A and B are shown apart, each in its own frame.
Chain A
Amino acid sequence: MQPTETFFSGFAPHDLWFLGEAALRTLWLSLLAISIGSMIGVVFGWLLSVSRIGGGFVLSPLLDIFRSVPLIIQLVLFYNFAPIIGLRLDAFDAGLIVLIVYTSANVAYVARGGIEAVSQPMRRAARSLGMTYWQDMRYVVWPIGLRAVFPAWVGVALGVMKDSALVSVLGYVELLKASQILITRTQETILILAIAGAFYFALSYPISLYAAHLEDRWNQ
């Protein structure tokens, strides 16, 4: 029997390269979003904790929007809104900006929790010892608050890493998009989904284990 002509070609070793490159793009995108978003989020969290009107009544409802609307809707909205106000953004930039805002909104509440985890008497004691406000923040609130909310922050960071898969909707070829492209060509759905899943898992699982381990140790 003659082999039938086909558009599809099997999964070849060099396709692993293609997936690997895409995995690096996922990694880079999430690293940028998590680091920049966390820095902004900590500032927001500080604002939430110090200002009742500015933080509680203005910032908090604003940040809440980004936690109450699906990320995929945020991505599509922003990607289509940017040209309206004359911004020319490619999929990476648009995705990164949305992810940064999303991260900072989530980190803000974590950071506020950390600041509030430090008891008032402790902070008054620090101030009575002659520490300035910022010294108190840097040497008392930061180390204690960080311990209290570090696991929660890891949870947010890993969530952003996994959610970065949604940027594929805008056409950015990160890991999930790359695996879809390969699936279309090779028709080897299970294998490729498993490879993509294994990558996310290999990144996320050790970090979550480590965070749980730290939490246990600090709780002792």
Chain B
Amino acid sequence: MDYNFHWRPVFKALPDLLQAALLTLEVAAISMILGVLIGLGLSLIRIHMKGPVMWLASIWVELARNTPALLQLFFFGFGLGAFGIHFSPYLIVLMGLTFNNAGYLAENFRGGFGAVPDTQIRAARSLGMTAFQTYTRIVIPQVLRIVYYPMTNQMVWAVLMSSLGMLVGFRELSGETQFFASRTFRIFEYFAVTAVIYYIIVKIILGASRLLAMRLFRY
């Protein structure tokens, strides 16, 4: 083994990498919030509606779940570009991740809604609650508990998936690493440090979600 590791350039770039890691977290978090909202809508549409709207929601969910995330990203990047619609790399990654998150979360939510018995909804309605009240006070709190763990997983996935941004020119953690690595050719060193940063981010997310769960689901 006559390879000399050079870690100094990596440590010099560390502040930039950490800055990029924040961008990774930001895009993952925003895509997650949007994904939860859209996923909730998609799952409710698939449960309660019929006809074209339901088909569209189903097509969204199945496409998101059954094609590679990278292909979805390419579609938002290059595919829409063919129509003359151009987005910044940030938006491409955000839309790709949101599309994917919404699809996966919709399926989780559907399972969650299925687990709340119909009798509870009818009981709430006969107590005089409106449909909206029934959903926000009876159904959603129970569903949240069921989908909490899958949602945490999806958040981790969103962070890991955002690394695909480096292939569409987005300078989040991976893209930034790629940028530095290609200037110095210290590819291994840079990506090793990046791997460690990702690992730490994932552990922080899991730890935070566990703490939050202890507060949310005390009783």
Contacts and interface: CB of A to CB of B under 8 A. Distances in A.
B78 A76 contact: no
Which 4 A-B residue pairings sit nearest by Cβ, starting from the closest? Answer: A70-B163, A189-B82, A204-B66, A165-B68
Query: How many of chain B's residues touch chain A, expressed as a range?
Result: 35 or more
A162 B166 contact: no
A72 B81 CA distance: 24
Most buried by A among B63, B67, B163, B199: B67
Interface in B35-51: none
B70 A165 contact: yes
B203 interface: yes
A79 to B, nearest CB: 9
B82 A166 contact: no
Interface residues of A, number: 38
Contact of B191 (A80, A187, A205): A80
Contacts of A205: 62, 66
A165 B161 CA distance: 13
Given A73-B194, A84-B188, A189-B81, 13 more contacts: A68-B199, A70-B160, A72-B163, A77-B188, A165-B68, A189-B78, A189-B79, A196-B71, A201-B67, A204-B66, A204-B67, A205-B62, A208-B66
Nearest to A168: B70
A74 B187 CA distance: 12
A1 interface: no
B66 A69 contact: no
Contacts of B71: 165, 176, 193, 196-197, 200
